[in-house]
Structure 1
Amino acid sequence: MAFRNKTPLHQLAISKLLLAQVLMSVVIAVVFLLAEGISAAGNAMLGGLIVLLPNIYFALKAFRYFGARSALDITLSFWSGEMGKYVLTVGLFIFVFLVIKPNNFIALFIGYFAVLIVSALGLLLVKKSFRKY
C-alpha cells in the first residue's frame, strides 16, 4: 500500500535546489544581458530552462510517495522521474535547436552548464543534520 505525499512542492527540501537553479538562470541571463545584449541573455535563459524544467518534472514525480511501505512505489517513481527528465532534456534541446534556433550557442551552453552545476552541488544546498553513531 503506497502512501501518497500531499506536501506541496514548495515545502519539500528539493524546493531550495529548484530555487537556486532559478536564481542561477537569472544571474547568468543578467550577466549576458549586460555583456552581450538581450539576444545572448535569452539564449542563456533558454539553457537554464533546459535544465530547470526537467528537474521540476523529476521533483514532482520522484517525491510522490513516502514511507517504508511505499518503497517499491518510491523506487519506481524515482526511476520514471529520472527517465522522464532525460527525455524532456533531449526534447527541449531538439525544440530549441529546431524551432527557436539560437544565435548564441556559447550563451546557451553556459546557461545550461551553470544551472547543471547547481544541480550537481545540490546536496550542499539541502542540508540535513546526520547523527553520528
Structure 2
Amino acid sequence: METRTPNRLPFHRWPVFPVLLAQMLVSLVAAGVVWRAYGTVSGYSGLIGGVIAWLPNVYFAYKAFRYSGARAAQAIVRSFYAGEAGKMILTAVLFALAFAGVKPLAPLALFGCFLLAQSVSWFAPLLMKTRFSRP
C-alpha cells in the first residue's frame, strides 16, 4: 500500500494560498509606496526584496503541502524539512544574485520590503480559513 498520498488540490485551494497572496500584495504595495516616495531605484529594489521573500515561501508551500493524509505523516515531515532547507538556500541565492547583478541598488529599500513581506507570515493564522486549534 502506498504511504505517500500526493495532494491533488490546485495551488489556489491550498490552505496557505491566502498567506502567499497577501505576501505578494504587501510586496507590490510596499514597492509602489517606496517608488513613489524615494524614486525608481528604491522602487525596484523594494520590489526585488518582496520577490526575495515571496519566491522561497512559494517553494516551501509547494514542498510542505505536497502530501496529505495520515498515512503520509513521515513524508509530510520530511517535506517540511526539505522545504525549509530549500527556502533558506533559495533566499541566500536570491540575495546574492540581487547584490551581484542589480546595479544600482538601494539596500535599505530591499531589506525593508523583504522584512515587511516576511512579517505577513506573523498574521498567517488570521488569513488561513482552516483552523487547526480546537474550538
TM-score range, shorter chain: over 0.9
Corresponding pairs, count? 132
Give the RMSD, CA atoms, in angstroms: 1.3
State whether residues 96 and 102 of structure 1, in contact with CA within 8 Å, keep that contact through their aligned partners in structure 2. Answer: no
**1:26 aligns to what?**
28
State whether residues 51 and 115 of structure 1, in contact with CA within 8 Å, keep that contact through their aligned partners in structure 2. Answer: yes
1:101: how far off?
3.7
Segments of structure 1 that go 5 or more residues without pairing to the other structure are: none
**1:4 aligns to what?**
6
Distance in 1 (CA, whole Å) between partners of 2:76 and 2:70 is 9
Normalised by the length of structure 2, the TM-score is 0.92
1:102: how far off?
4.5
**2:68 is equivalent to residue 66 of structure 1:** yes
Amino acid at match of 1:64: R
Q: Percent identity?
A: 42
Q: Deviations over 1:108-129 (max 9, x none)?
A: 1111000010022212211434
Normalised by the length of structure 1, the TM-score is 0.93
Q: What does 1:28-43 align with in structure 2 at a 5 Å threshold?
A: 28-43=30-45
Segments of structure 2 that go 5 or more residues without pairing to the other structure are: none
Amino acid at match of 1:22: M
> Which runs of at least 4 in structure 1 moved beyond 4 Å after TM superposition?
none
Q: 2:122 aligns with which of 120, 123, 127?
A: 120
